[in-house]
A and B are shown apart, each in its own frame.
Chain A
């Protein structure tokens, strides 16, 4: 989850998010180098008392400052497009979960084998126990098995919402009347938090998404228990 005065991304919990992190580092490094160079030019120009009033053109430097930026842009574009297409691939999911957005809670449906459905409301601040995170905890978490490709079908029941979990690198709009598909693989067990990412009314900030990745046996035990309890 996010921590106070955080500047960068949350730690990646899925291979896609790792790729995004590394790409961001790559692009940021290029941006820092260019900015440093420009800052050097500015300081050098401003602090110099030399002037040249007679230079009209220079073909060599024009070639350099056309070719070099083009190469830099290609070096940014190729990894970017690779990740874009990688994010689109949904490699044979083991499990499909439907995340339905309501005003103002999420409901999850695990209908692959049995009909398991439950709602996930935010835990109000006054009901939090010590150690829980304000505005991020939910009463029923979406449990998913670790290291298994999971397909999430997202839709909205009333207005637009958006199902987002930053550490898994996932965000998908929940549009009423439309079924959107996204997928993730949780690389490690843990609890991953996200918040509704499309303005949906008064309690838009109070309908978090909580995904808990557990080993497969624990997932199976949990789903059996939930179905029995229902």
Chain B
């Protein structure tokens, strides 16, 4: 399949930027879905060992993808300890 692709790209080099951007977009979407599945505290994979990960959130951990002004490691927990 790669050989076929290489032959087509040699004859039509305009396909290279197309592959790059579409492939990049697809990779970023899949990457974000994977991040959501593996890192989102709302997701529960292991019902026996880790049944409710949303109840065990660390106040100094950055859950967001990108933080601009906030430094989460410097935050102090504001809620009560249970």
Q: Which residues of A contact B (CB under 8 A)?
A: 57, 59-60, 62-63, 66-67, 70, 81-82, 85-86, 88-89, 91
Contact = CB atoms under 8 A, between A and B. Distances in A.
B17 A70 contact: yes
B14 A63 contact: yes
A86 B17 contact: no
Given A59-B14, A70-B21, A81 B66 contact: yes
Contacts, number: 35
Contacts of B70: 89, 91
A63 B13 contact: yes
B8 to A, nearest CB: 12
A85 B68 contact: yes
B10 to A, nearest CB: 11
A88 B65 CA distance: 11
B17 A67 contact: yes
12 contacts: A59-B12, A59-B14, A62-B14, A63-B17, A66-B14, A66-B21, A67-B17, A70-B21, A85-B64, A85-B67, A89-B67, A91-B69
Contacts of B14: 59-60, 62-63, 66
A57 B12 CA distance: 10
Interface of B: 12-14, 16-18, 21, 64-70
Chain A interface SS verdict (over half):
helix
Nearest to A89: B70
Contacts of A66: 14, 17-18, 21
A67 B19 CA distance: 11
Contacts of B21: 66-67, 70
A208 B49 CA distance: 50
Chain A to chain B: the 6 pairs with minimum beta-carbon distance, closest first: A62-B14, A66-B17, A59-B14, A70-B21, A67-B17, A63-B14
A85 B66 contact: yes
